Chains A and B, each alone.
Chain A
Amino acid sequence: NAGVTQTPKFRILKIGQSMTLQCTQDMNHNYMYWYRQDPGMGLKLIYYSVGAGITDKGEVPNGYNVSRSTTEDFPLRLELAAPSQTSVYFCASTRSGGAGADTQYFGPGTRLTVL
């Protein structure tokens, strides 16, 4: 299993540009999450999904959109990038029940800089 994969690893955007951060997991997990982590800070939840076709806002959703058309994929869309969105973005997934359901598996992260 590759686990949780994210692309790209790094990206520099200009203010106002848009991009999609890709996240894929091959563990058949129902729950998927997007977090951002600013320097020296903890993780903040942007959006999450409990299954294909179902998404909901987290703590800091403004400026972002998500979709979940399949169990495996959970892309995060940034529209009109702003310097405040400079951060490291982590995607994570979790089983929805049974043994090990509490464990979150994280992707390697995408480092985004908006200039």
Chain B
Amino acid sequence: RKEVEQDPGPFNVPEGATVAFNCTYSNSASQSFFWYRQDCRKEPKLLMSVYSSGNEDGRFTAQLNRASQYISLLIRDSKLSDSATYLCVGSYIGYGQNFVFGPGTRLSVLP
């Protein structure tokens, strides 16, 4: 079983829609979680970190449920510029700091 799993997508939504992505993780030792955004043929960039009680950043809200080992990302009022692949990432302290990436969920926001 993969350590981090995500909705396969793709998600095709109209501008202004609300869209939610789900992510589950299997390593209970994972301490921190993140959502990264990756544009086509570009490097991943941090969108937001997700901590114990979840957090909000403008139109983006991330939630963490440690009991269910589940993370979500909610995007409200989708913009065309939100079109990208969203990567769910967990990290844990092993020999150094280890990051485990999910396969990503692709989002296309349509005009």
Residues on A facing B (Cβ under 8 Å) = 31, 33, 35, 40-45, 48-50, 56, 88, 90, 94, 96, 101-104, 106-109
What does DSSP make chain A's interface, helix, strand, loop or mixed?
strand
Say yes or no: B103 contacts A42, CB within 8 Å: yes
Main secondary structure of the interface of B (DSSP, over half): strand
By beta carbon, the residue of chain A nearest B96 is A50
Q: With A42-B102, A102-B34, A102-B49 as known contacts, state yes or no: A109 contacts B97, CB within 8 Å.
A: no
* Binary contact readout B41-64 vs A (1 if CB under 8 angstroms, 0 otherwise): 111111001000000000000000
A-B pairs, top 8 by smallest CB distance, nearest first, are A50-B96, A106-B43, A42-B103, A43-B101, A42-B101, A102-B32, A103-B46, A31-B96
The one of B87, B97, B102 that contacts A101, using a Cβ cutoff of 8 Å? B97
A100 to B36, alpha carbons, bound, how many Å? 15
| Shortest Cβ distance from B46 into A: residue | A103
> B11 at interface (Cβ–Cβ under 8 A)?
no
Total contacting residues, chain B, CB less than 8 A: 22
A104-B46 in contact (CB<8A): yes
How far is A106 from B97 in the complex, measured between Cα atoms in Å? 15
